[in-house]
Amino acid sequence: MKIVTSVLKSLVLVSALFSFSLTAAFAQSAEEGEKLYNANCTSCHAINEKVVGPALKNVHTKRKEAWLLKWIKNSQALIKSGDADAVAIYKENNESVMTSFENLSDNQIKSIIAFIKKESEAPLQATVVPTGTSSSNATTTDTITSEVSGTLKTSINWLVIIIMLLLIMVIVLVLDILAKVGEIQGKPVINWNGINAKLMLAFGSIGIIASAWEIWEHGKLTVFNQTPASTHGAEYDNMFMITLIITGIVFFITQGLLFWYAYKYKHSSKRRALFYPDNHKIELIWTVIPAIVLTILVVRGLKTWTEMTGENDPKSRIVEVYGYQFAWNARYAGEDNILGKHDFRQIGVINALGVDTNDIKAQDDIITNELHLGVGEPVLLKFRAKDVIHSAYLPHFRVQMNVVPGLPTQFGFTPSLTTAEMRQKLNNPKFDYVILCNKICGGAHYRMKMKVVVHTKEEFKQWLAQQPRLVNKSTPNELATAQVETSTKTKLDN
């Protein structure tokens, strides 16, 4: 009897342990999958919406695991092999090519699929479901209405175009008839001259009022309304405002006069135009004044520009900003403040930035997907692009620089307000600095955004110390030994 119970007990224990380890393994693999997914797939995919590639929701039920493994490793090979599903999805997506991920192991891909499964089963947040209707009902009706409205919309569009064409024909005919009537009566039925003059006046006034309203209403939304968060920002804003005010005044005066004169001096049979060939004095005035104003603006602008982009503080911390379709990474130079070399041939799944792994200076580099800076600490951003031209835009710091493949660009500046201070100033506890892409660089350009955090000096030091180095030696001393080890090893290898 005793033996039986102990055997039973151990059986229960073993199975409990087994199932526990299973769920733990699943949870862990979904977790690993999330990391891999975020690092490799989010630039083109989202779970619930189409980005560059299709939404991945429920793809684990739609496709067999073996198919997914083959597809993710090398979708082009699968398409070439003539697989019907692969060819179909390729055609559906206008034959855009998905990156191949040969370096991902089967287990890594399975963990990504586990993550997609977990996300597909998670309830959708923020769906607008009218109260009283069950959600499944709402989705079916939604798809039906959207399908119906799709075809309806195209036919309505055609109808509108045809009606517009007919309307234009009618108007042309009516005008033709009126012109003929005028000819017979010897006096035009419609006074085009007067109508044109009034339209000029209306267009001018509406345009000027709309411009003024635009500046008043939407000027509030621009970053120029916020204190700049960098030391050069104030000078930059000042320059921008002076230019805007001077050109703004000229704009309103000249546009106002232009449309007013077109109205006031419209053709009149009672008036003859004055022949006034030239006046040296007036011409001198309107040449010299703009020349002086423009010279002041240009010289001041050049001065501001050279101050902003000239000599960088030699103590600047060096950070690489790496842009690709469609995300950013930051790479810190580490203790030696020298970025390891990079080599495009080494770009791969593990080494997404193509850091040259043979370069010893790369060992203490730190790669992150947020840009963290210390307040009052000069930083020199070195920009690098993987694929096409991007533009790094940090509006709050008044920084923008093109990011061009194969052509290094840089911008040095000093942040002057921490994220916490800016949140307080804007009275917005959720505010975050950002780096955006300012070049329309492809289908998901709008997603190309990275969070920027400005810490106090102390916080920044702490944050940086916590980040893993490329080669996992965390303190400078260990790093030094690691360097020695590696260099002797390389010598031995040679």
For binding to ligand HEC (CB under 6 A), which residues are involved?
40-41, 43-45, 52-54, 56, 59, 63, 68, 71-72, 75, 89-90, 93, 96-99, 101, 112
Residue 376's binding partner among ligand HEC, Cu ion, none (Cβ under 5 to 8 angstroms by kind) is none
**Residue 390 touches which of ligand HEC, Cu ion, none (Cβ within 5-8 Å per kind):** Cu ion
DSSP symbols for 85-100: HHHHHHHHTTTPPPPP
Per CB under 5 A, 401 contacts Cu ion: no
Provide, rounded to whole angstroms, the least separation between the CB of residue 441 and Cu ion.
3
Q: How far is the CB of 386 from ligand HEC (least distance, A)?
A: 11
* Dihedrals phi, psi of 396, to nearest 5 degrees: -70, -25
Of 71 and 236, which has the nearer Cβ to ligand HEC? 71
Closest residue to ligand HEC, judged by C-beta, is: 53
Q: How far is the CB of 323 from Cu ion (least distance, A)?
A: 6
Task: Give least dist CB 182 to Cu ion, A.
Answer: 59
Q: Is residue 326 reached through a cis peptide bond, with omega within 30 degrees of 0 on the bond before it?
A: yes
| Residues with Cβ within 8 Å of residue 360, at least 6 apart in sequence | 340, 483, 486, 487
Residue 63 interacts with which of ligand HEC, Cu ion, none, CB < 5 to 8 Å by class? ligand HEC
Residue 51, contacted partner among ligand HEC, Cu ion, none, CB below 5-8 A by kind: none
C-beta closer to ligand HEC: residue 31 or 283: 31
Chosen from ligand HEC, Cu ion, none, partner binding at 57 (C-beta under 5 to 8 Å by type) = none
Residue 205 burial class via C-beta count within 10 angstroms: exposed 0-12, middle 13-18, buried 19 and up: middle
Is residue 386 a contact partner of residue 393, using CB atoms and an 8 Å limit? no
Coil/strand/helix, residue 38? helix
Q: Footprint of Cu ion on residues 428-447 (CB under 5 A)?
A: 437, 441
Q: Give the closest residue to 397 by CA, choosing from 378, 424, 370.
A: 378
- Cβ atoms of 370 and 330 closer than 8 Å: yes
- For 112, 139, 140, the CA distances from 109, given in Å and listed in that order, are 5, 30, 32
> Minimum CB separation from Cu ion for residue 41, in Å?
18
> Vertex 51, ends 58 and 404: CA angle to 5°?
140
Contact status, residue 101 vs residue 349, Cβ threshold 8 Å: yes
- Closest alpha carbon to 204 in 162, 253, 267: 253
Q: Which does 448 bind (CB under 5 to 8 A by kind): ligand HEC, Cu ion, none?
A: Cu ion
Residue 14 or residue 407: which is nearer to Cu ion going by CB? 407
Task: Among 331, 372, 390, 398, indicate the residue that binds Cu ion (CB under 5 A).
Answer: 390
CB 97, min distance to ligand HEC, A? 6
Kindly list the residues in this chain that would bind Cu ion in the complex (CB under 5 A): 390, 437, 441, 448
